[in-house]
């Protein structure tokens, strides 16, 4: 007598099926995940650095991302070198297909930073934790503001100002405005 019992599924097939459903749900719900999931993560990271953040997020995860009305201020709960960070808008235009096909260096089409005012008040770090916090803030600013400009085909930086207040002096990098031409135009015009 034969019974039509299915063999038990392996754990690997269950895992693959679960990942497939998770990817499908992520693709269908990407906008709410980005718009409602990213801000709490950013606020939690900033709170660990004794900072308060406010920003608006717009765009699509597949083609562009726009972060506007960025305001970062110290909370007063601990030492931080940030006095104030205000950025009118950061905009990233990219292609997920190019990221998959060509890698990180080729997927960012354009990067824009408009009306940025960064004010820092460096302090001597008293503990190892304070030194680590200062390095982490510097790395995050580098990741958000500097690295995309190195990878983008077109960069537009408008009205960018950095000020550093210290006991000895005040350093200011004035209102910089810069536009770069796309890589494909540079290749076309360089041979002329």
pLDDT in tens, 38-71: 899 999 999 988 999 999 998 877 788 899 999 9
pLDDT at 18: 93
| Residue linked to tokens 């039509």 | 4
Average of pLDDT values for 165-178? Answer: 75
Q: For the whole prediction, is pTM greater than 0.95?
A: no
Question: Which comes out higher in pLDDT, residue 190 or 62?
Answer: 62
Q: Is the pLDDT at 189 greater than 50, yes or no?
A: no
Strand order of the sheet with strand 82-94? 51-60, 64-74, 82-94, 108-120, 154-165, 170-179
Q: H/E element holding 164? A: strand 154-165
Question: Which comes out higher in pLDDT, residue 158 or 186?
Answer: 158
**Residue 1 token pair:** 């007598």
pLDDT at 185: 41
Contact indicator for 114, 158 with CB cutoff of 8 Å: yes
Average of pLDDT values for 169-189? Answer: 60
Distance of CA 66 to the CA centre of its chain: 10
Which range has the worst mean pLDDT, 6-10, 75-79, 102-106? 6-10
- DSSP 8-state assignment for residue 106: G
Q: Is the pLDDT at 188 greater than 50, yes or no?
A: no
pLDDT at 181: 54
Contact indicator for 88, 115 with CB cutoff of 8 Å: yes
**Residue 97 token pair:** 């297909």
| Coil/strand/helix, residue 177 | strand
CA torsion through residues 12, 16, 22, 23, sign: positive
């Amino acid at each position: 007598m034969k019974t039509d019992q299915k063999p038990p599924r392996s754990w690997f097939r269950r895992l693959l099926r679960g990942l497939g459903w998770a990817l499908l749900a992520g693709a269908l719900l990407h906008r709410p995940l980005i718009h409602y999931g990213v801000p709490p993560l950013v606020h939690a990271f900033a709170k660990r650095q004794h900072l308060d953040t406010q920003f608006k997020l717009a765009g699509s995860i597949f083609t562009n991302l726009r972060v506007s009305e960025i305001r970062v201020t110290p909370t007063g709960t601990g030492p931080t070198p940030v006095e104030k960070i205000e950025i009118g808008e950061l905009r990233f235009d990219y292609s997920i297909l190019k990221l998959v096909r060509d890698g990180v260096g080729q997927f960012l089409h354009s990067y824009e930073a408009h009306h940025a005012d960064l004010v820092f008040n460096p302090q001597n770090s008293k503990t190892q934790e304070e030194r680590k916090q200062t390095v982490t803030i510097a790395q995050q600013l580098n990741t958000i503001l500097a690295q995309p400009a190195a990878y983008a085909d077109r960069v537009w930086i408008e009205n960018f100002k950095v000020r550093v207040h210290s006991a000895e002096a005040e350093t200011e990098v004035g209102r910089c405005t810069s536009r770069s031409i796309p890589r494909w135009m540079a290749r076309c015009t360089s041979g002329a």
